[in-house]
Chain A
């Protein structure tokens, strides 16, 4: 079964339809949104399609090597809030169509006014690596 990374970030995608930042929602709207996400993940666990997932802190920084014997250089964060990756999830599903269906559900999580956010989510297939069993 193909595995997919479902990535929630805002780099390069058009704005969501219901594009109101979360801190401008009502507390109940925040609660409802979180409940929707939790129920969605629980359903995936029950169907045996959930592999892993994690929310990410916005406190990221950039790191690169600065040559042998020297500590790595760190910098940043540079990203605008809207560029941040907010979290990721790995799903293991029957088909590409199923992965798209699930991402569509997640994108419909309720936001401001209780209306679906319709945000863009990125779906990336895994490069799988089982040992090759054939060679023709």
Chain B
């Protein structure tokens, strides 16, 4: 499905997929089961994309509900014929208006069911709430469409067996959206933007401070995207980025969302990470960053999560705030197997003037990198030091 980036005509895939959760909510409110209703909505969305451009409906949501409901009834009817269980259809309530039905929040929780792996939850959220096609979700995770179709149908089976998760916790929803933002390969859908859209929709429907924290974090990271890679697609680390290319609109929105959340004094991991990101976005240069304040947020993050990854982030900030010796001293407490530890040590050793040691550490970090661009960057860093520049 092609998607014109700029045009927002009614038949564009982007416009159509925004209706997905509300249409699915209506079908579920009418008594349709989750799994087949979700299929019916997916088919209706596809039909909308192919027909709306020529024949735009007056009431897009009504059109989608009617179309999806018909598809669902047809599906139940043929299943009934196959299994000779006509009562399945007889039990289905007749179509009727369910005004104002919007169980989008419940859909998020259902699709990111705690019984699912985060990757499966992310796939199901993208399809059922995000309205993406299976092929788009498959592209997002760089697997064949058939593989993703199987994964989604297994996830739906799990959801059907488990039912709605009992507590109101959004933890697994937030984790799934963060995975979409971080791990997604861009096909014809920009997954960072899709994760932000879904986080916005979620934030609009809940007062949860961590939902706000996640949205703020994604916005603040995304604000820096234009500067994160150069024209050749190479990674540009934060300290060398052209900060005039950062998106101030996204940064400002992120800061506003974060401040409102922090004011409620129910802090969590996403809010604290967003606070760090906000300080970076606030600094005109790397050197002008408020490093003591960054260290303070990392102190809170480490106290809250005991995560060695955050402990490593704290080492970087400490190295800038108090010098490489302080950073190296704190690094000693970070376990050797924490990802990117060698790269952090390399940076501190270079700052301490130990260039040969730093070069070897960059080379080691490159061998341990799990992403191509990161590895290439680290190899260049090792090469830079060995060339004596």
Q: Determine the distance from Cα of A48 to Cα of B184 in the docked complex, in whole angstroms.
A: 17
Asked if A49 is an interface residue, CB under 8 A from chain B, the answer is yes
B225 touching A133, Cβ below 8 Å? yes
Query: Which partner residue on chain A sits nearest B377 by CB separation?
Result: A132
Mark B223-263 against chain A: 1 for CB-CB distance below 8 A, else 0: 01100110000010110010000000000000000000000
For the complex, count residues of A whose C-beta is within 8 A of B: 23
| Stretch in B56-64, B72-80, B144-152, B330-338 with 4+ CB within 8 Å of A | B144-152
Asked if B131 is an interface residue, CB under 8 A from chain A, the answer is no
Interface set, chain A 17-70, CB cutoff 8 A to B: 45-52
B369 touching A127, Cβ below 8 Å? yes
Residue of A45, A47, A52, A129 contacting most chain B CB atoms (<10 Å): A129
Asked if A92 is an interface residue, CB under 8 A from chain B, the answer is yes
Tally of A-B residue pairs with Cβ under 8 A? Answer: 81
B181 touching A133, Cβ below 8 Å? yes
A132 touching B229, Cβ below 8 Å? yes
Asked if A73 is an interface residue, CB under 8 A from chain B, the answer is no
B371 touching A92, Cβ below 8 Å? no
Asked if B322 is an interface residue, CB under 8 A from chain A, the answer is no
A133 touching B369, Cβ below 8 Å? no
Asked if A135 is an interface residue, CB under 8 A from chain B, the answer is yes
Which one of A3, A94, A131 lies within 8 Å of B117 (CB-CB)? A94
Asked if A81 is an interface residue, CB under 8 A from chain B, the answer is no
A92 touching B150, Cβ below 8 Å? no
Q: Is the interface of A mostly helix, strand, loop or mixed?
A: loop
Asked if A125 is an interface residue, CB under 8 A from chain B, the answer is yes
A132 touching B144, Cβ below 8 Å? no
A131 touching B147, Cβ below 8 Å? no
Asked if B313 is an interface residue, CB under 8 A from chain A, the answer is yes
Which one of B228, B280, B316 lies within 8 Å of A132 (CB-CB)? B228
Q: Given contacts A1-B119, A134-B182, A135-B238, is CB(A48)–CB(B147) below 8 Å? A: yes
When distances are taken between beta carbons in the complex, the residues of chain B under 8 Å from A130 are 182-186, 371
Asked if B222 is an interface residue, CB under 8 A from chain A, the answer is yes
Interface set, chain A 83-136, CB cutoff 8 A to B: 92, 94, 125, 127-136
Q: Determine the distance from Cα of A125 to Cα of B141 in the docked complex, in whole angstroms.
A: 15
What are 23 A-B interface contacts by the 8 Å CB criterion? A1-B119, A45-B147, A46-B150, A48-B143, A48-B150, A48-B154, A51-B144, A51-B147, A52-B144, A92-B143, A92-B147, A94-B119, A127-B370, A129-B185, A130-B183, A130-B186, A132-B371, A132-B373, A132-B374, A134-B182, A135-B238, A136-B280, A136-B316
